[in-house]
Structure 1
Amino acid sequence: MTATVTHTPHGSGRAAVAADTHMAWEQARQIAGDCVGRPLPVVTRPLADALGHALAEPLTALTDLPPFDTSAMDGWAVAGPGPWLLGGAAVLAGDRAAPLSGYGTAVPIATGARLPTGATAVLRREHGEFDAEGGTLRERSTGPGSVAAGRDIRPRGQECRAGEELMPASGTVTPAVLGLAAAAGYDLLAVHRRPTVELLVLGDELLESGLPRHGRVRDALGPMLPPWLRSYGADVIGRRRVADDRGSLREAVRDSVADVVVTTGSTAAGPVDFLHATLEEVGAHLLVDSVAVRPGHPMLLAGLPPTADGRARWLVGLPGNPLAAVAGTLTLAAPLLRRLGGHADPEPRLMRATAELPGHPRDTRLLPVRRADHEVAPLPFDGPAMLRGLACADGLAVVPPGGVPAGATAKVWEVPGQ
C-alpha cells in the first residue's frame, strides 16, 4: 500500500494523508522489509572486521573440530589398564608427542594437548598417584573405578567434521561466531555490506548540552538512536543537526550519500514540518505515510532517487517525540536495515502478561515492559515524549487495539542493548 499524498490548502508544504489511509502496524513493518529487492552486495572481511555483519553464505567447517584427539583434563595419557609405567616428557598443548611404547605405559599430559598415539584414555591428575620408588602410576582407590577406554578424551570431529555447515547464511556474526570461524580455519568471511545511515536531527528547539532553558529542550534522540540503529546492522556514518528550514532540509536529504537517511521530527502537520514537501521536491516515492500505532503514528518511509551510480536509497521519517521515535525505529527502520544487511528478521517472543497491558481503542500500541522468565509486566511513564519507562524496559510489547488482559499472551520485541 502506498499512501496518497495531497497538499494542504495553506501552502505550508505539508503533505496530508487522510485518516483512513493510516496503515496497519504489521503491514507497515512488512512493507519496510519487502521494499528491499535484495541485500546489499557481498564483501570479504577479515575476522576482526566482520563483527555484526550477516553471513552471505553458510559457514562451513574447513577442518574437523577438534582436529585431532585431545586431552580433556590435566593428568596422564595411559595405554590400557593400570598400573602404568611412567616415562617420557610431559605433553603440553601444541606439542607433537612421541607414541606410547605399549600397553601399561603412561605420560603426563595437559588439557588441550594432542593425545599420543597408543593412548586409550586420560587419567585425571586428582585420580592418580605415583609411586616414585617403583616408577609406576596407579589409580587412587577412592577414584571412580577403572579407566575406561576413551575416558576424558575429546575425540577428533566431536564437534564437527570438515564440510559440515556450522551456521546458515544470513546469520549474524557475533563474538561467538568469530571464535567458531577461527577455530574452523577461517581468516576471512563473506558477508553482506552493512547499510550506511545518516541521522538528521531536526528542530531549532534542541540543545546539545546543559540544562533545558528559554523554551528549548535537550536533544535525546541524537545520543540514543545511533546505538539502536547499529544494533539493527547499520553503519552510522554521520549525525547532524538540521535547522527548521525547508531549503536546509532539502539540501541535507538530497546530498546524503547514505543508503538510509533517518530523520527525527517534521513528520506531522506543524508550521515548520517540511519533510513531506521536501520529499516531493526531491522526487521521493512514499511507501508508508502514517501508521496506526501509538505512539508514533506520523512516521513515514520513502524511496529516494538513486545515486549517480544507481545505488538505491531510502528515508525513514521518525516522529520527534522520543518514545514515538523509538516506535518508528522498530516499525520501519529495523526491518529495512536488517533486510538490507542480509540478516534474518527475528520473531518476537510470546510472553504472558502478569497485569493488563492497556491498549489504544483503534490502533496497535507499543508498550515498554519488563521481562521475567516467560512473563512481562507494563512499566509506567510510557507517554510518547517520555523515556523513563523505556530506560527501565527490556522489551516493547505489541498491544492490539483494546489491550491485552492479565494472563493472556503478548508479542514482545527485545529492546536493543538490554
Structure 2
Amino acid sequence: MAAQTAWSEAYAIATTTPKPLPSTPVAVEAAAGRVLAAPIEALRPVPAFDTAAMDGYAVAGDGPWTVTGQLLAGAVHSPPLRPGTAVEIATGAVVPEGTAAVLPYEDSLRNGDSVTAHPSAGRRVHIRRAGDDVRPGDVLVAAGRTVNATIAAAAVQAGAEQVAAHRRPTVTLLVTGNEVIDSGVPGPGQVRDSFTGLVSAVAVRAGADPVVRRHVRDVAALLESGLTAARTDVVVVSGSSSAGAADHLHGVLGRMGATWHVRGVACRPGHPQALAELPDGRWVVSLPGNPFAGLVAALTLLEPVLTALGGRPPLPLPEVPVHGSAKLMPTGVRIVPVHRDDRCRRRGGWRIVAETSSAGLQAAARADALAVLPESWADGDPAPILAVP
C-alpha cells in the first residue's frame, strides 16, 4: 500500500477532484436545496405594472379631488383619471392612466366625495413603476447559489418557471460485517449498525438524496456484487477497509479497475479511510469499521465529495483556538471531539471533550465539532474544526 496521504491533502483531494454532476431543468418549486448551474434571469418586470405603494387615493391634477370609485388589488380595468378626480386605491392595485400620485390615507382629509391633501403632506408620489425593482433580462441570482425559499420566491415573482440546477448526488451505503445487525439487542459477538444514521445525516447536510442502505456479509464476491449493483453516484463502504482476513475492499476495487485518489490518511483515528473512482465514474468512499473512525472519514472524505458533486462551492474550514490536552500523532494529525466551553470564552471557547478510542462515540456525542490537531499543536493553538452531524 502506498504511503498515507496527509489529512489536509486528503481533504483537498475530496473537495476539488470530483466535478459537479450535470445540470437539469427543474421547476422552481422543486429546486430547494439544489445548486444553480446557470444564473436565474427575470422574464418579466417587477413590479409587472404601475402599482400603488400605499393605501389611499390615486389622484390626477390639482386638488381638491372628487372621488369617483374604488380600486382593490387584482382589478385589471379602470377608466383613466381626469384632472381633479381620484379613486380610492389599495396597495398593490394597478394605478389608473393619468394618475399623478397616490395620496396616503394618513396624508389626506376626506369630506363626502371630496378629498384634499393634509397641509403637512409631503410630495412623494407613492407609485411603484413597472420594472423599478427588476427588468426582463436582469440576473436575479448567480450560478453556484443554493436555492432556498427566498430565491425560489424571487424567481417566481420575476416569471421564472424553471431553473437549471445540478443534480443531487445519489448514495448507496454498503454496511459490511457478519457481526452487524440492523435492529434488536446484539447477541454475543454482534454489534448494532451505527453507520446508517451518521452517513445519512452527512449526506443530507451535503445536499445528497436519501441514502440507500444494504448489508453485505464478509465475502469478497458479495462485496463485489454489491458494488456492481449500486448504481448511484457514490458508494460508501463501512468496514472492510484494512488488511485483515475479512477486509476485501481493496482487492475487490483492484479487480474492478478502480483509480485510487486517497488510500490511507495520516490521522488517528481514521487512517484506513480511502477514496477511489470506478471506471464508470462512480465514487467509492471507504470508512473504517470502528464507528468514531468512520465518522472522521465521513467528514474528511464523504462530505466534501458530495458537496463537490452537487456543485456547491467548498467552504474553508473554520479555525478556532482549542484548549486541553491530547496525545498527538507524529507525522500526522490527531482528531478529537471538542465543544464550546464558557469557562474559556475569553480564550476562544473550545475545549477537548476527552480522549476517545476509534470505536466509541460517547465523546463525539457530547461534542459540537471535531478538531484536527497537527503534531505541533499546543494548548490554546488554533486548529481546523469539522462540525458533527
| Superposed pair shares fold, TM > 0.5 | yes
Letter matched to residue 353 of structure 2: P
Structure 1 equivalent of residue 94 of structure 2: 114
Structure 1 equivalent of residue 229 of structure 2: 255
Q: Take 1:96 and 1:380, find their aligned partners in 2: how far apart are those partners?
A: 69
Letter matched to residue 168 of structure 1: A
User: Would the aligned equivalents of 2:336 and 2:354 in 1 still touch at CA under 8 Å?
Assistant: no
Which of 29, 50, 58 lines up with 1:48 in the alignment? 29
Q: Take 2:186 and 2:154, find their aligned partners in 1: how far apart are those partners?
A: 49
User: Would the aligned equivalents of 1:85 and 1:137 in 2 still touch at CA under 8 Å?
Assistant: no
User: Would the aligned equivalents of 1:47 and 1:189 in 2 still touch at CA under 8 Å?
Assistant: yes
Structure 2 equivalent of residue 192 of structure 1: 166
Q: Take 1:161 and 1:410, find their aligned partners in 2: how far apart are those partners?
A: 47
> CA offset at residue 315 of structure 1?
0.6
Number of residue-to-residue matches in the alignment: 382
Counterparts of 1:115-154 in structure 2, within 5 Å, are 115-117=95-97, 118-121=99-102, 123=104, 125=105, 127=106, 131-133=110-112, 135-136=114-115, 139=118, 145-151=120-126, 153-154=127-128
User: Would the aligned equivalents of 2:134 and 2:158 in 1 still touch at CA under 8 Å?
Assistant: no
Q: Take 2:206 and 2:144, find their aligned partners in 1: how far apart are those partners?
A: 13
CA deviations 1:279-299 (Å, max 9, x no partner) are 222222222111123332210
Q: Take 1:214 and 1:135, find their aligned partners in 2: how far apart are those partners?
A: 91
Which of 236, 245, 267 lines up with 1:293 in the alignment? 267
Q: Take 2:290 and 2:75, find their aligned partners in 1: how far apart are those partners?
A: 58
Counterparts of 1:150-189 in structure 2, within 5 Å, are 150-151=125-126, 153-189=127-163
Structure 2 equivalent of residue 13 of structure 1: none
User: Would the aligned equivalents of 1:261 and 1:314 in 2 still touch at CA under 8 Å?
Assistant: yes
Alpha-carbon spacing, 1:129–1:263, altered in 2? closer, same or farther (3 Å): same
Counterparts of 1:299-314 in structure 2, within 5 Å, are 299-306=273-280, 312-314=281-283
Structure 1 equivalent of residue 6 of structure 2: 24
Q: Take 2:312 and 2:113, find their aligned partners in 1: how far apart are those partners?
A: 63
> CA offset at residue 232 of structure 1?
1.7
Alpha-carbon spacing, 1:249–1:392, altered in 2? closer, same or farther (3 Å): same
User: Would the aligned equivalents of 2:175 and 2:213 in 1 still touch at CA under 8 Å?
Assistant: yes
CA deviations 1:112-156 (Å, max 9, x no partner) are 333444142451x5x3565454643655x9xxx4233144x5454
Q: Does 1:319 align with 2:319?
A: no
Letter matched to residue 233 of structure 2: D
Q: Does 1:360 align with 2:338?
A: no
Alpha-carbon spacing, 1:87–1:333, altered in 2? closer, same or farther (3 Å): same
Structure 2 equivalent of residue 219 of structure 1: 193
> CA offset at residue 386 of structure 1?
3.9
Alpha-carbon spacing, 1:157–1:251, altered in 2? closer, same or farther (3 Å): same
Which of 320, 323, 345 lines up with 2:314 in the alignment? 345
For the aligned residue pairs, the C-alpha RMSD in angstroms reads 3.3
CA deviations 1:139-175 (Å, max 9, x no partner) are 5x9xxx4233144x54544443322222222222223
User: Would the aligned equivalents of 1:305 and 1:313 in 2 still touch at CA under 8 Å?
Assistant: yes
Q: Secondary structure at the match of 1:87?
A: strand
Letter matched to residue 11 of structure 2: R
Letter matched to residue 325 of structure 1: G
What is the TM-score of this pair, normalised by structure 2?
A: 0.83
Which of 278, 282, 289 lines up with 2:256 in the alignment? 282
Structure 1 equivalent of residue 43 of structure 2: 62
> CA offset at residue 239 of structure 1?
0.9
Letter matched to residue 229 of structure 1: A
Q: Take 1:354 and 1:254, find their aligned partners in 2: how far apart are those partners?
A: 43
| % identity of equivalent residues | 35
Q: Secondary structure at the match of 2:295?
A: helix
CA deviations 1:229-275 (Å, max 9, x no partner) are 13223234621011122221121113322221111112123332221
Letter matched to residue 122 of structure 2: V
Q: Take 2:159 and 2:109, find their aligned partners in 1: how far apart are those partners?
A: 39
Residue ranges of structure 2 left out of the alignment (5+ in a row) = none
Letter matched to residue 177 of structure 1: I
CA deviations 1:59-115 (Å, max 9, x no partner) are 2222333333434444444557876543311322464554443367352313x3334
Q: Secondary structure at the match of 2:203?
A: helix
Alpha-carbon spacing, 1:237–1:398, altered in 2? closer, same or farther (3 Å): closer
